[in-house]
Structure 1
Amino acid sequence: MTVQTEPAPEWLRCAGCGGTVYGKRYRRDLNVCPDCGLHGRLTAPERIERLLDEGAVPLTGGAAVAEDPLAFLDRRPYPESLAAARRATGLEDAVVGVRGTVHGHPVVAAVMDFRFFGGSMGSLAGERLTEAMETSLRERIPLLLVTASGGARMQEGALALLQMAKTSQAMGRLDEAGILTISLITDPTYGGVAASFATLSDVILAEPGARLGFAGRRVIEQTIRQRLPEGFQTAEFLAARGLVDGVVSRGALRGTLSRLLAATVPATPPERPYTLIRTGDELPPRDAWETVRLARHVDRPTTLDYIGYLLEGFQELHGDRLAADCPAIVGGLGRLGGVPVMLIGHEKGHRTADRAKRNFGMATPAGYRKSARLMRLAAKLGVPVVTLIDTPGAYPGIEAEENGQAVAIAESIRLMSALPVPIVSVITGEGGSGGALALGVADRVLALSGAVYSVISPEGCAAILWKDAAAAPQAAGALRLTTRDLLALGVIDAVVPEPPGGAHEDPGGTAELLRDALIGILGELTPLRGTELVEARRDRFRRYGLAPA
């Protein structure tokens, strides 16, 4: 946000809506316009003060760099421009590194300041960024990157360009070490910064209206001679295309960061008794078609409902980092009984408009790519994965096929098979075909007693084999898709009981039984090494379909 002072210095004019803002109120609101919500720029010291707890300590030391490697001269020698920028900002360069906490959770932060050469990345800025990353690695503390940059610094030529590789390598080492990295994108973030460390973080948050891209709008329009759409490259534009995890207003950033940091603190699952049904004889016989209808009940709890009951400090993560954010799959980090987990599940919604928006729980390829991204993050952080399955199947539309639906499902199955952290899957409603299995390759597979699980929907089976969709009730019985049948077949490990009438009659009570079961099972799986989990999981699925010994 650019502000222009009115004759009275305490009044500012918003560059977004043109409204007049009282200066004290503007600063109290963290430089956010109270009328249009436009987020103005903050300096690096202001960012640190607003995001971190009091007492953040600057990172000191570091290697010296050549300050004028090209003997660059434009309107004046580069050293003179550097000296002027240092006098104007009080900063050494465009990056400030600190060690601090967010609501008590340790973090190393590298914060960019656009006032210093437009936040451009030269050798010293690249060195300060890398030093922060190496401090995070050495001390095994999560890393927070706050970006504001026009790109690599022209006055340092190819050496500035190579800072992209230098910082990206350091981010790679943090990946290998399993340390959480978070980027906060502020306006603007372009060029070499966007195309290196800024977009390599595990979690990418963006302030409202923040622009992120490799080339700026003016450069693109002049190059391709096309008018770009309104909102191009803004945080909201990127979120709709699955490129950022969330657009977070400035006032909510500390809370969001705190939840993310808290969700990665290791904890031991508490010992808690739990009730599971492990043999079909413990379940009464149920009409298959009536069970299907119960599993599809519009008021049956969804993944978001269960998240509200089960998890503390849940932070939803969005996007496949490629093309879209599929609303039929939701996922994120939270704490289950104090234990960090990555929870991922199908989301149908309840009301008609929401169910239509979420494709009735039928995920697109972007949904499975999003879930795969979150599973890989869980593996990096050593966090167990819980999946909640409730879908009639993967979305069968033209666009889904064009974007590789089969490939996305296959890759999800392969990924889960080799994930070196505990996985517990729960069929909460309808488990349909490969769209369900893509979230169901787990160490333990549970089902709520009113759930179903099948290779195809009864209607689909009836249409293919009976040549009559009206034969769906008969097909449902033939498919043996109730939990009593699934236990007998060994397809699921155990059943979580539901109250009389179904989970929709008492969502809170159902969630309590599910929470106790999940905590208990994770307590059994967590002590196992990753290699043990993978070997047992692969052996489990290798045996399906074999005749009993």
Structure 2
Amino acid sequence: MTETLPAPPLPTPAAGPTDWVLCTACDAMVYAKRLRRGAGVCPECGHHGPLTAPERLAGLLDEGSVRLLPIEHVDGDPLGFVDSRPYPDRLRDARRRTGLQEAVLCARGRIDGHPVVVAAMDFGFLGGSLGAAVGEAITRACEVAEAEHTPLLLVSASGGARMQEGVVALMQMAKTSQALRRLDEAGVLTISLVTDPTYGGVAASFATLCDVIVAEPGARLGFAGPRVIAQTIGETLPEGFQTAEYLLEHGIVDLIVPRAELRGALSRLLAVAGGQACLTDESPEVVVRDPAALPERHPWDAVRAARRFGRPTTLDYAHLLLEDFTELHGDRMAADCAAMVCGLGRLAGTPVVLVGTQKGRTPGELARRNYGMPTPAGYRKAARVLRLAGKLGLPVVSLVDTSGAFPGVAAEEQGQAVAIAENLRLLSGLPVPVVAVVTGEGGSGGALALAVADVVLMCADAVYSVITPEGCASILWKDAGCAPRAAEALRVDARSLLGLGVVDGVVPETEHGDHLAAAEALGAALLTSLLPLSRMDSASRIERRHARFRAFGAPTPGANP
């Protein structure tokens, strides 16, 4: 049993000269009470100043919900380390100054009523360094989260491994990493909140191994510090190097959230992870499954309709259909592809994972999002979020509207073919229900990389093909002007594809520009498709998915060889 404790109070600033404090970022004089009301965020420049571990718990967890974990801190000085002072003296001084036993504080609590286990680090205790006691506390928090199947939130603030404990501190990186692996196997959501600064052994272990990485604005994260890097390689580092904003652009963090909005952002993530499926039979059947029920049209007309500017995008559908939608960013390797959208939300109350291509709605956005053509980073981001769906047992909704994967030189250098192939394999064995919908263009392997699904649907004005009509015409007729003829030969329209069995159903289109009606139709189609899939066990569902794609091109049973 653990004692229920009130949320730790924020420290009260001393009177007199400390009524005013100096912002370390902009040098502005700020009234201390105003700074406290803003949770340590400078009202002049927005700099997010450091918080203690008790302040973190007080700011993140519901009042009255905090229960500190009873973690025994065993003092150790494995090396008998002495620099200008013996290591035990430094420990005693840190405890006296901070009131903490170690550089991390662990607790159970709730965020907007959602249960969570939290481990919050304190940079004021020996630079938040990772030693044996910190590693033990983090590992213990992981074990409690695993035993209680409760999401884990790790709040990092560290200069790295604790030098005074030598290789014993180094071993804590492995110890905490394997604890997080067990949470992966148990299907428990893990969230990392990166605060400034987070470096070294913490950055290279539990701070970056979580399912979702959230960073405060300006927070720095890296393995080696900028001074060490600059001295080692003798180069001028890029502006903003290792800051949260730089890392978001380079695909390392999922979200940058200001301190005032952290509780809301974390609550949305926890709501999805802790939600229960509530699919019902009440959704109307809107999907057309008989090709004869669809009007005949020239396939080129379908191509033009699919490309028509102003059709709903993946993000339009996300915001119209999903509650508590949180977009996730980055491939955790090098980049965040804006042509690929991934995130978590709830469809009619049921938690789902969304992946989809995003073209954009303005000329500027079209260019920024690469006209909906994903790079390898986009497919790797999708793969990362698909694996998260498998871990948490969440159904996947995939929305496809792309002329194909980006064909540039950089994409080839970064392994475009490999990224697509990996997604095909991943989706073929994903243990959760997968429904894919071609909402506009479905171009080649770039589209198929999101459409290896249990159920494949397409909108009535959408098209799906091995190549664009223009590309086919250029290759076979040496004239891109023969695109209408190629579209007819390729049979890219919904009626033809439903007849071929490539898609399982067609979602009727609404009046062009009526995004709400389009979302309602798509939402009904998704719910009626997901319901029977949710009632199947994983093995049967995967075998059914395998058989679906195995049948394409296979001999008809009983046919002559």
TM superposition score category, shorter chain reference = over 0.9
- Alignment partner for residue 491 of structure 1, among 502, 517, 538? 502
Deviation string, structure 1 residues 393-437 (Cα, Å, up to 9, x no partner): 000011001101011001100100010000000000000000100
Output aligned runs, 1:382-421, within 5 Å. Answer: 382-421=393-432
Deviation string, structure 1 residues 433-472 (Cα, Å, up to 9, x no partner): 0010000000000111110000000000000001100000
Q: Secondary structure at the match of 1:263?
A: helix
> Which residue of structure 2 aligns with residue 453 of structure 1?
464
Distance 1:60 1:485 in 2: 61
Distance 2:464 2:69 in 1: 58
CA RMSD of aligned residues (A): 1.5
Does residue 1:211 correspond to 2:220, yes or no?
yes
Deviation string, structure 1 residues 114-156 (Cα, Å, up to 9, x no partner): 0000000111111111110000000000000000000111111
Q: Secondary structure at the match of 1:350?
A: coil
Distance 2:456 2:87 in 1: 63
> Which residue of structure 1 aligns with residue 356 of structure 2?
345
Does residue 1:74 correspond to 2:74, yes or no?
no
Amino acid at match of 1:287: H
Q: Name stretches of at least 5 consecutive residues in structure 2 with no aligned partner.
A: 1-12
- Alignment partner for residue 98 of structure 2, among 89, 103, 126? 89
Distance 1:209 1:335 in 2: 30
- Alignment partner for residue 535 of structure 2, among 524, 527, 530? 527
Q: Secondary structure at the match of 2:397?
A: strand
Deviation of 1:516 (Å): 1.2
Distance 2:57 2:436 in 1: 40
Does residue 1:478 correspond to 2:489, yes or no?
yes
The answer as to whether partners of 2:40 and 2:49 remain within 8 angstroms in 1 is yes
Q: Secondary structure at the match of 1:505?
A: coil
> Which residue of structure 2 aligns with residue 302 of structure 1?
313
Distance 1:24 1:287 in 2: 70
> Which residue of structure 2 aligns with residue 9 of structure 1?
18
Deviation of 1:220 (Å): 1.2
> Which residue of structure 2 aligns with residue 268 of structure 1?
278
TM-score by length of 2: 0.95
- Alignment partner for residue 55 of structure 2, among 33, 37, 46? 46
Deviation string, structure 1 residues 67-88 (Cα, Å, up to 9, x no partner): 2222222222211211111111
The answer as to whether partners of 1:59 and 1:132 remain within 8 angstroms in 2 is no
Query: Which range is displaced more, 433-442 or 530-539?
Result: 530-539
Q: Secondary structure at the match of 1:45?
A: helix
Output aligned runs, 1:44-193, within 5 Å. Answer: 44-62=53-71, 65-193=74-202
> Which residue of structure 2 aligns with residue 536 of structure 1?
544
Amino acid at match of 2:410: E
Deviation of 1:519 (Å): 1.3
Q: Secondary structure at the match of 2:18?
A: coil
Does residue 1:358 correspond to 2:366, yes or no?
no
The answer as to whether partners of 1:274 and 1:513 remain within 8 angstroms in 2 is no
Q: Secondary structure at the match of 1:9?
A: helix
Distance 1:8 1:497 in 2: 70
- Alignment partner for residue 373 of structure 1, among 376, 379, 384? 384
Deviation of 1:546 (Å): 3.1
Query: Which range is displaced more, 65-74 or 195-204?
Result: 65-74
Distance 1:26 1:278 in 2: 61
Query: Which range is displaced more, 400-409 or 60-69?
Result: 60-69
Deviation string, structure 1 residues 55-110 (Cα, Å, up to 9, x no partner): 23344434553422222222222112111111111101001000001100000000
Deviation string, structure 1 residues 489-546 (Cα, Å, up to 9, x no partner): 000000111125xxx3321111101111111211111121111111111111000123
> Which residue of structure 1 aligns with residue 233 of structure 2?
224
Query: Which range is displaced more, 146-155 or 56-65?
Result: 56-65
Distance 1:518 1:498 in 2: 15
Query: Which range is displaced more, 212-221 or 72-81?
Result: 72-81
> Which residue of structure 1 aligns with residue 338 of structure 2?
327
Distance 2:88 2:368 in 1: 56
The answer as to whether partners of 1:270 and 1:337 remain within 8 angstroms in 2 is no
Deviation of 1:339 (Å): 0.4
Deviation of 1:21 (Å): 1.9
Distance 2:30 2:326 in 1: 33
Question: CA 1:121–1:546 in structure 2 vs 1: closer, same or farther (change >3 Å)?
Answer: same
Distance 1:539 1:433 in 2: 21
Question: CA 1:97–1:115 in structure 2 vs 1: closer, same or farther (change >3 Å)?
Answer: same
Q: Secondary structure at the match of 1:524?
A: helix
Identity between Structure 1 and Structure 2 (%): 60
Q: Name stretches of at least 5 consecutive residues in structure 1 with no aligned partner.
A: none
Distance 2:93 2:324 in 1: 45
The answer as to whether partners of 1:5 and 1:12 remain within 8 angstroms in 2 is no
Question: CA 1:6–1:226 in structure 2 vs 1: closer, same or farther (change >3 Å)?
Answer: farther
Deviation string, structure 1 residues 336-371 (Cα, Å, up to 9, x no partner): 010000001000001100001001100000000000
Deviation of 1:5 (Å): 11
> Which residue of structure 1 aligns with residue 268 of structure 2?
259
Query: Which range is displaced more, 183-192 or 514-523?
Result: 514-523
Amino acid at match of 2:280: P
Distance 1:278 1:488 in 2: 9
Does residue 1:430 correspond to 2:441, yes or no?
yes
The answer as to whether partners of 2:357 and 2:399 remain within 8 angstroms in 1 is yes
Distance 1:411 1:457 in 2: 23
Deviation of 1:548 (Å): 4.5
Deviation string, structure 1 residues 240-279 (Cα, Å, up to 9, x no partner): 1000101111111111100111011222312222211001
Distance 1:5 1:227 in 2: 41
- Alignment partner for residue 42 of structure 2, among 9, 17, 33? 33
Distance 2:469 2:169 in 1: 61
The answer as to whether partners of 2:213 and 2:254 remain within 8 angstroms in 1 is yes
Amino acid at match of 1:104: G
Count residues in correspondence: 543
The answer as to whether partners of 2:73 and 2:102 remain within 8 angstroms in 1 is no
Query: Which range is displaced more, 69-78 or 378-387?
Result: 69-78
Q: Secondary structure at the match of 2:184?
A: helix
TM-score by length of 1: 0.97
Deviation string, structure 1 residues 39-65 (Cα, Å, up to 9, x no partner): 100001111111111123344434553
